[in-house]
Structure 1
Amino acid sequence: MGFGSYDESEQQDQNVDTDDSDGVTVHEHDHDGEISTEASASTEELVAGLQDMSSDDD
């Protein structure tokens, strides 16, 4: 094997005691709400600005 020795006996019957009280709560800071944005520029102005930025990379 290319990654070192492999002993299947080490992979069987592994019992691990876990304590979930120290875990990370992924939903601890969930928020319900809405986000709205208003653009002061028109779609044409935004597209022109994007084209200017992409042409600057060349």
Structure 2
Amino acid sequence: MGFGSYDESEQDNQEYDTDFDDDDGLDTEDNTHKGDVEYEFTASNDELLDRLKDIKETETNT
């Protein structure tokens, strides 16, 4: 067989490991945040909208 070729009979003989253990994954409860997050914006709505417009114009020009 040459490089990149394969034996078609091997297509039927593939084995898949579908036995998943619960210990293999991440426990998302370990990193749960139990607090409050507050944001303070110093820019006005008009300043933020102007900035968004600039960003969109930059994206369409590139």
Residue of structure 1 in register with 2:4 after alignment: none
Distance 1:19 1:28 in 2: 15
- The aligned residue for residue 45 of structure 1 is 47
C-alpha change, 1:55 and 1:29, in structure 2 (3 Å) is same
TM-score for the superposition, normalised by structure 2: 0.53
Gaps of 5+ in 2: 1-10
Unaligned stretches of 5+ in structure 1? 11-15
What is the percentage of aligned positions where both structures have the same residue?
Answer: 31
Kindly tell me the number of residue pairs found equivalent between the two proteins: 48
| Change beyond 3 A, Cα 1:55–1:24 | closer
TM-score (norm 1): 0.56
Aligned CA-pair RMSD: 3.1
